[in-house]
A and B are shown apart, each in its own frame.
Chain A
Amino acid sequence: MIGRGWARTVLADLARHWRHFAAASVGIVLGVAALTFFLALGFQVREILLDRVFPTDHLEVAPKAADLDLFVLRLDLGRDALDAAALESLARIDGVEAVYPKMRLTVPAMASVGSSLFGAGMQTEIVADGIDPALMAEEVGGTFHEVDDGQPAVRCTRDVDCGGDAYCGRGAGRSEGVCRPFIPVLVSPYVVELYNGAFRRAYDLPKVNPDALVGLTFEMAFGASTFRPAAGPTIRERMRFAGVSEMAIPLGVTLPLGYVRRLNTVLDSPEAGERYHSAILEIGDRDSLPQVVDGVEKLGFEVRDRGVRRAALVTAIVIIVLGLVGIVLIAVAAAHIMHVFYLVVMVRRREIGLLRAVGARRTDIRRLLVGEAAAVGLAAGLVGVAAGVAAGAVADRLAASRLPNFPFKPESFFHFSPWLLASVVGLAVAACILGALPPAHRAASGDPSEALAGR
């Protein structure tokens, strides 16, 4: 039995025994709805953890610490820098697509934020590092770039004389100066969260919108510190916010790598301009994360634990638990369907005997019953998925109205991707087919005479 005849017979049988099949479907609908709901929740949690809280398509690698605690002091006995050979070794690890070195600013620095932002001038010690702008090209585009401060000096008296990307750098008390390029800086979302949380409350300052920070300027003095008097020269520059990025140093500002290299060379030593303190590894496929971490550790380096390990563990546990839920669902749904199909086969045994008598092969009977099971699974899967999505929408609405705001609170707690929905429906179909196989096999076995006699 093939083609339209088969399909028509399957549909007719479904219509005829709809009560049985509806009863069989209840468990599957509930199971599929629950699975859709929890998988979508799990995947969204995974996305938030790995994309926003602990981004794992990039790993920060640093020399392994070998600290020795001596009373109040901790002595650093390990390497504290990566050289060119180390960067090459890291680039050869399977799964690593690119290596971007990072360099810390090795001299103190102070930032002065003018009254335009906070209503009152503010000065603070600040740490900084430098990263390759190529790493940020996709995230913040061309606003974060290397600066060329070796251009011929252009004299100026006001900022407007220097165009949009430069300002008029004048010494104290001087009315004339030369045009200097703004140094683009990035800040981490942690800095913004910290400021908008505890810091602004303590100092009675306004909350800032991170999207509106781009383009704002402030001044930095490299080599200057309130902790100790400057032992060497000080370089003053105007900085301009280029964006907020996970790649930025968690507490401080991140500058283009070339500029930090020059500052370290000029203000500290030529060697300081050649030592990288860490490197960002770009990973092509998230699933290769464990393999990359393993490769890094084999080379004697360590992955900066910004929660990556915990995030990986949490997501692994979530996926294992959800996988178990899926397995339990398959087992329960298959058992339920099996029970119902045994009942259906018993009720229809004379009919099956008649079909065999007029020429149905064993495979025809199996195909008929499996087709009915697949149709039940498809219908139940679609209804279950719709119920799961609806439950997610209700949960989102409740979360939006009842849950307080917290860092990284998403607009939706669920990620209903098309492949997830299709997979869950496929799972429902597979469960129903699996469940129907033993009764279908029993219906098809034995001689037609037994079935016609009701045995």
Chain B
Amino acid sequence: MIRLQNLRKRYPGADIDVLCGIDLVIEDHDFLSIVGRSGSGKTTLLNLIGGLDRSHDGAVEVNGRDLRSLDDAELSDFRNRAVGFVFQAYHLLDHLSCRENVAVAALFARGEARRDASWVRRRADEALATVGLNGAGGRRPSTLSGGEQQRVALARALFHRPQILLCDEPTGNLDLDTGREIVDLLSALHSNDEMTVVAATHDDTVAAAGARVLRLHDGSLEAGDGGGE
């Protein structure tokens, strides 16, 4: 379960808070869509939930642990095992193959999560197959279309079978049809793998896939339109 309590965030040099005291509970296996205009704080909210940003007031608790109480090693392990990120800009490393991109988290796995090379390769291919990219493991990301690149990014997020999938404008750089395919994939993952999915979007298709839709407006959350709720 993810619990946000009075979450506030102000960027250095800014005059106003980008998040103004957010209180939110996201249950396990939920599919939450957060909609809002550009600059409304959607990305900031996802970054805080995923432990990519820790400079805030209030609490971000995941499974009962306040992320601010974790040291760098614990927080890194949390990002490595418990969370998968899908970014609007994909953030694929073009000097690596698709398979290597998918498995990049394995480089930083420690303890029980550390596996041998053959397991890593097999799991990366599985993740690619899950997003419909069988046989693309050896290709460079730059040789793929935008939709395919976002699928690779999704496979990367799924590599360690995370408990939480955080998607920041996952269809933002894609055309309508390709975007719909990605949304279908997210819905399937949520249904089949019982993953908690939080998607920040201004795309109605993505928003509609969510079981709940919340609107972020001037740093505060309001109940949104549509969604499965």
Partner of B76, one of A6, A359, A452: A359
Measured CB to CB, the closest approach of chain B to A365, in angstroms, equals 10
Closest to A362 in B: B72
In residues 44-58 of chain B, which contact A (Cβ within 8 Å)? 44, 47, 50, 52-55
Measured CB to CB, the closest approach of chain A to B180, in angstroms, equals 26
Q: Let me know if B87 and A358 touch, CB within 8 A.
A: no
Q: Which residues of B contact A360 (CB under 8 A)?
A: 76, 107-108
Contact (A364, B108) CB under 8 Å given A357-B52, A357-B85, A359-B77:
yes
Q: Which residues of A contact B104 (CB under 8 A)?
A: 354-355, 358
Q: Let me know if A355 and B108 touch, CB within 8 A.
A: yes
Contact (A359, B91) CB under 8 Å given A447-B55, A449-B47:
no
Docked pose: A17 CA to B76 CA in angstroms? 26
In residues 2-23 of chain A, which contact B (Cβ within 8 Å)? 5-6, 9, 12, 16
Q: Let me know if A361 and B73 touch, CB within 8 A.
A: yes
Docked pose: A449 CA to B91 CA in angstroms? 12
Q: Let me know if B107 and A351 touch, CB within 8 A.
A: no
Does B123 belong to the interface (CB within 8 Å)?
no
Q: Let me know if A359 and B80 touch, CB within 8 A.
A: yes
Q: Let me know if A9 and B52 touch, CB within 8 A.
A: no
Q: Which residues of B contact A363 (CB under 8 A)?
A: 73
Q: Let me know if A448 and B108 touch, CB within 8 A.
A: no
Contact (A16, B52) CB under 8 Å given A359-B79, A361-B73:
no
Does B105 belong to the interface (CB within 8 Å)?
yes
Q: Which residues of A contact B77 (CB under 8 A)?
A: 359
Does A1 belong to the interface (CB within 8 Å)?
yes
Q: Let me know if A12 and B76 touch, CB within 8 A.
A: no
Q: Which residues of B contact A357 (CB under 8 A)?
A: 50, 52, 79, 85, 91
In residues 208-223 of chain A, which contact B (Cβ within 8 Å)? none
Q: Which residues of A contact B93 (CB under 8 A)?
A: 351, 354
Contact (A361, B72) CB under 8 Å given A1-B108, A9-B107:
yes
* B-contact bits for A57-80, CB 8 A (1 contact / 0 none): 000000000000000000000000
* A-contact bits for B93-110, CB 8 A (1 contact / 0 none): 101100000001111110
Partner of B107, one of A5, A16, A353, A447: A5
Does A309 belong to the interface (CB within 8 Å)?
no
Size of chain A's interface in residues, with CB distance under 8 A? Answer: 25
Contact (A452, B91) CB under 8 Å given A359-B80, A361-B76:
yes
Partner of B105, one of A6, A351, A358, A449: A358
Measured CB to CB, the closest approach of chain B to A376, in angstroms, equals 18
Measured CB to CB, the closest approach of chain A to B140, in angstroms, equals 13
* B-contact bits for A111-132, CB 8 A (1 contact / 0 none): 0000000000000000000000
Does A356 belong to the interface (CB within 8 Å)?
yes
Does A350 belong to the interface (CB within 8 Å)?
yes
Q: Which residues of A contact B105 (CB under 8 A)?
A: 358-359
* A-contact bits for B38-81, CB 8 A (1 contact / 0 none): 00000010010010111100000000000000001100110111
Q: Let me know if B52 and A359 touch, CB within 8 A.
A: no
Q: Which residues of A contact B8 (CB under 8 A)?
A: none
Docked pose: A355 CA to B53 CA in angstroms? 14
Measured CB to CB, the closest approach of chain B to A12, in angstroms, equals 6
Docked pose: A363 CA to B95 CA in angstroms? 23
Docked pose: A190 CA to B81 CA in angstroms? 79
Docked pose: A1 CA to B72 CA in angstroms? 14
In residues 384-430 of chain A, which contact B (Cβ within 8 Å)? none
Does B156 belong to the interface (CB within 8 Å)?
yes
Q: Which residues of B contact A361 (CB under 8 A)?
A: 72-73, 76, 108
Q: Which residues of A contact B107 (CB under 8 A)?
A: 1, 5-6, 9, 355, 360
- The 8 tightest CB contacts between A and B, nearest first, are A359-B80, A359-B108, A358-B105, A449-B53, A449-B52, A449-B47, A361-B76, A448-B52
Extra A-B contacts (5), CB below 8 Å, given A354-B91, A358-B104, A447-B53: A9-B107, A351-B93, A358-B79, A359-B105, A361-B108
